[in-house]
C-alpha cells in the first residue's frame, strides 16, 4: 500500500502544482519579460559605467601629460595599464600636433583620433577631463576619455559595448538603447532605432562623484512576444519540476555526489588517471620545445572519460590533489622514456591553488627528480588564472623552493580570471599562455580581439615568454608569428596523446624534417 500511496500523492502534487503554474502564467509573462530586460540592461549599464570609472582612474594615475615622453619605458607602462584593465582598448598620449604614442603598436593609426582628441566640442566631465566619440572603420563608435593639460593630452579608448547580444536569438531590430552621460554638454551614445513602436521599456542610472550615466532601453512587441513564448515554456517546466522537487532532488543529489566521489577514489586506487601530452611547437622552425600534461580518465576497457566530466568535481572535492600526484609520477617516467631528461624540452604540469598551501607538491616532485635523475628544467608548472589564490604571500613562499631548483611557473588562461597583473608580479610568472577564447577571435569581428591585442602588446614590452594555446589553423599561426608569438600549442600541430603515441609522432616528425 505504501508504494501506490506515494505514487498517487506524487501524481496529485504534480497535477496541483502544474495547474497552479499554468493559472498564474499570464501574470508571469509580463513579469518575466520585464525581469529579463531589467537584468540585462543593469548588467550592461554596470559594465559601461565601470569602464568609464576605470578609464578615469587610469588616466588620473598617470603623471602630467607634459612630462610624459614616448620612450620604450613609457610605452611599456601604458601597455601594462591596458593589460590590467580589459575595458580599455588602448591608452595613448598626444603632444599638440607632434609626438604621439600608444599602448598598442600593432595596427593603430593615431591620426584616427586626432580630430576628436583636440576638438573643442568634447563633452566636459571636469576642468581637464572630457569624453568624445569617433566612428571607426566598422561603423561603430569608439568612446574616448581625454585628460588634458595645456597642449598635451592623455586618451583612453574604451572597448566597444554591444547590446546586440541581448536580442541575438530573439528578433532583429527590436531593441534600442540610449546611454546618456552627464557633462557639458550632455553626451548621448545610442543604437540604431527600432523598426516598430516600443511597448516595453526600462531605465536605470549609476552615479559617482565624477560621472553619471543613465541607460534607456526600449523593446517592440516582437521582443515581448519572444520572451512571452519562453515564459510559457519556463512556466510549464517550472510547474513540472516543482511537483517532485521536495521528494526527489535532495536525496538524488546526495546519492550522485557520493557515487561520483567513490568512483573517482576507486579509479585512483586502480591507477586509471593517465597523462596525455599536447606538444608545444616553435613556429619559426617547427621544433618541439615541450608539452602540456593533460589529465585523462582511462577506464579498464580502454575508453576515455574527457576531463570536463570529472575535473570540476575533482577540484571542488580536493581529489584533484591525488589525481595530480598520479599524473606527476607517470609524467616523470614519460620524460625518461622520451629522453627529454637529456634535452631542453619540458613537461608542463597543471596545478591548482591548493597545491600552493604546503610543501607537499615540492617534496613529491623533488623526490621523483632525485630518484629518476631528472633535471629541473624538464618540469614546469602551470596555474590557471580562472581560480583565485586566497593568499599570494603564502603561495609565493611555497613556490620559492621550485624557483631555487630552476622550475618555472606559467600562467594559464591569461586574461580570463582573477589574477591579472597581480599574479605576474607577486608569483614571478615566467610565461603567459594565451587562452583559446582569444585565439579564436583572429580573423573575426569580435570584441575579445582587443583583449588578445592587449595581452600580446603587454608581453612584447614586459619581457615575458608567451605560448598561444588552442591554435587550430595556419592563419592563426601566421597572425601570431607576425606579432612575435612563436610558441604554439593546438590541433594545428597535434592533439593531446598518450606517451606511446607521442613517441611515434615525434619519430615521424623527425623523419619528415
The arithmetic mean of pLDDT across residues 345-360, rounded, is 94
Instruction: Return d(Cα 110, Cα 88) in angstroms, integer.
Output: 16
pLDDT above 90 (res 54): no
- DSSP states of 345-399 as a string? -EEEEEE-GGGGGSSHHHHHHHHHHHHHT--GGGEEEEEETTS--S-HHHHHHHH
The arithmetic mean of pLDDT across residues 152-178, rounded, is 70
Report residue 3's pLDDT band, with 50, 70 and 90 as the boundaries.
very low
pLDDT above 50 (res 38): yes
Strand runs labelled E in 86-236: 88-95, 100-102, 123-126, 129-135, 141-149, 152-158, 175-181, 187-190, 198-207, 212-220
The DSSP bridge pattern shows strands 287-298 and 346-351 to be parallel
**Residue among 507, 499, 471 nearest 296 (CA):** 499
DSSP structure class, residue 151: T
Lowest-pLDDT choice from 55-69, 102-116, 312-326: 102-116
Q: In what helix (H) or strand (E) does residue 21 lie, and over which residues does it extend?
A: helix 2-23
Report residue 119's pLDDT band, with 50, 70 and 90 as the boundaries.
low
Q: What is the pLDDT of residue 285?
A: 93
CB 69 within 8 A of CB 98: no
- Residue 154, phi then psi, degrees to nearest 5: -90, 150
Mean pLDDT, rounded, of the chain: 82
Q: What percent of the chain has pLDDT over 90?
A: 33
Q: CA angle at residue 226 from 224 to 228, to 5 degrees?
A: 65
How many residues appear in the chain? Answer: 513
Instruction: Return d(Cα 272, Cα 438) in angstroms, integer.
Output: 33
Q: Residue-wise over 269-307: b if at least 16 C-beta within 10 A, else e?
A: eeebbbbbbbbbbebeeeebbbbbbbbbbbeeeeeebeb
- Collapsed DSSP state (helix, strand, coil) of residue 164: helix
pLDDT above 60 (res 8): no
Of residues 25 and 498, which shows the higher confidence score? 498
Of residues 93 and 253, which shows the higher confidence score? 93
Most confident of 143-147, 221-225, 428-432: 428-432
Q: What is the pLDDT of residue 89?
A: 84
The DSSP bridge pattern shows strands 346-351 and 88-95 to be unpaired
Instruction: Return d(Cα 36, Cα 234) in angstroms, integer.
Output: 13
Strand runs labelled E in 152-286: 152-158, 175-181, 187-190, 198-207, 212-220, 273-282
pLDDT above 60 (res 111): no
pLDDT above 60 (res 48): yes
Residue 131 to residues 57, 156, 157, 211, 444, Cα–Cα distance (Å):
14, 10, 10, 11, 28
Determine how many CB atoms are found less than 10 A away from the CB of residue 435. 24
Q: In what helix (H) or strand (E) does residue 54 lie, and over which residues does it extend?
A: helix 25-61
- DSSP states of 60-88 as a string? HHSPPGGG---SHHHHHHHHHHHHH-TTE
Of residues 393 and 186, which shows the higher confidence score? 393
Instruction: Return d(Cα 191, Cα 473) in angstroms, integer.
Output: 35
Report residue 250's pLDDT band, with 50, 70 and 90 as the boundaries.
very low
Q: In what helix (H) or strand (E) does residue 305 lie, and over which residues does it extend?
A: strand 304-305
Of residues 299 and 242, which shows the higher confidence score? 299
- Collapsed DSSP state (helix, strand, coil) of residue 303: coil
Instruction: Return d(Cα 247, Cα 120) in angstroms, integer.
Output: 68
Cα of first residue to Cα of last residue in the chain, in angstroms, is 77
The DSSP bridge pattern shows strands 379-384 and 409-414 to be parallel
Of residues 2 and 382, which shows the higher confidence score? 382
Q: What secondary structure, in 3-state letters, does 322-352 show?
A: HHHHHHHHHHHHHHHHHCHHHCCCEEEEEEC
CB 171 within 8 A of CB 223: yes
Instruction: Return d(Cα 266, Cα 108) in angstroms, integer.
Output: 56
Beta bridge partners of 469: 489
Amino acid at each position: 500500500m505504501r508504494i501506490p500511496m506515494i505514487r498517487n500523492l506524487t501524481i496529485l502534487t504534480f497535477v496541483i502544482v502544474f495547474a497552479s503554474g499554468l493559472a498564474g502564467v499570464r501574470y508571469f509573462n509580463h513579469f518575466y519579460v520585464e525581469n529579463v530586460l531589467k537584468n540585462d540592461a543593469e548588467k550592461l549599464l554596470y559594465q559601461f559605467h565601470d569602464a568609464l570609472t576605470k578609464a578615469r582612474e587610469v588616466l588620473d594615475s598617470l603623471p602630467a601629460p607634459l612630462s610624459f615622453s614616448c620612450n620604450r619605458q613609457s610605452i611599456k607602462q601604458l601597455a601594462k595599464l591596458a593589460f590590467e584593465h580589459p575595458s580599455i582598448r588602448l591608452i595613448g598620449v598626444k603632444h599638440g600636433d607632434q609626438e604621439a604614442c600608444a599602448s598598442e603598436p600593432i595596427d593603430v593609426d593615431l591620426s584616427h583620433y586626432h580630430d576628436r582628441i583636440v576638438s573643442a566640442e568634447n563633452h566636459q566631465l571636469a576642468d581637464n577631463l572630457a569624453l568624445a566619440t569617433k566612428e571607426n572603420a566598422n561603423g561603430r563608435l569608439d568612446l574616448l576619455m581625454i585628460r588634458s593639460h595645456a597642449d598635451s593630452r592623455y586618451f583612453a579608448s574604451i572597448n566597444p559595448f554591444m547590446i546586440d547580444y541581448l536580442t541575438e536569438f530573439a528578433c532583429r531590430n527590436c531593441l534600442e538603447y540610449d546611454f546618456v552621460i552627464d557633462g557639458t554638454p550632455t553626451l548621448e551614445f545610442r543604437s540604431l532605432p527600432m523598426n516598430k513602436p516600443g511597448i516595453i521599456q526600462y531605465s536605470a542610472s549609476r552615479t559617482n562623484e565624477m560621472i553619471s550615466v543613465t541607460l534607456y532601453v526600449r523593446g517592440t512587441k516582437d521582443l515581448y512576444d519572444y520572451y512571452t513564448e519562453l515564459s510559457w515554456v519556463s512556466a510549464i517546466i517550472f510547474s513540472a519540476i516543482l511537483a517532485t522537487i521536495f521528494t526527489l532532488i535532495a536525496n538524488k543529489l546526495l546519492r550522485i555526489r557520493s557515487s561520483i566521489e567513490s568512483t573517482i577514489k576507486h579509479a585512483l586506487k586502480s591507477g586509471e588517471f593517465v597523462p596525455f601530452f599536447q606538444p608545444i611547437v616553435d613556429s619559426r622552425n617547427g621544433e618541439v620545445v615541450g608539452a602540456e600534461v593533460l589529465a585523462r580518465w582511462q577506464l579498464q576497457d580502454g575508453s576515455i572519460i574527457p576531463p570536463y566530466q570529472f575535473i570540476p568535481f575533482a577540484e571542488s572535492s580536493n581529489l584533484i590533489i591525488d589525481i595530480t600526484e598520479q599524473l606527476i609520477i607517470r609524467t616523470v617516467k614519460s620524460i625518461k622514456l622520451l629522453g627529454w631528461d637529456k634535452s631542453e624540452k619540458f613537461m608542463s604540469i597543471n596545478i591548482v591553488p591548493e597545491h600552493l598551501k604546503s610543501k607537499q607538491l615540492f617534496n613529491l616532485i623533488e623526490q621523483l627528480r632525485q630518484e629518476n635523475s631528472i633535471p629541473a628544467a624538464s618540469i614546469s608548472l602551470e596555474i590557471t588564472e580562472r581560480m583565485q589564490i586566497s593568499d599570494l604571500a603564502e603561495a609565493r613562499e611555497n613556490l620559492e623552493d621550485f624557483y631555487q631548483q630552476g622550475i618555472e611557473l606559467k600562467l594559464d588562461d591569461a586574461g580570463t580570471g582573477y589574477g591579472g597583473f597581480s599574479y605576474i608580479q607577486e608569483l614571478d610568472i615566467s610565461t603567459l599562455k594565451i587562452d583559446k577564447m582569444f585565439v579564436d577571435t583572429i580573423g573575426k569581428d569580435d570584441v575579445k580581439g582587443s583583449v588578445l591585442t592587449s595581452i600580446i602588446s603587454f608581453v612584447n614590452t614586459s619581457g615575458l615568454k608567451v605560448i598561444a594555446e588552442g591554435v587550430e589553423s595556419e592563419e592563426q599561426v601566421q597572425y601570431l608569428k607576425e606579432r612575435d608569438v612563436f610558441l604554439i600549442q593546438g590541433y594545428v600541430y597535434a592533439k593531446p596523446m598518450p606517451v606511446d603515441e607521442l613517441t611515434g609522432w615525434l619519430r615521424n616528425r623527425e623523419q619528415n624534417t
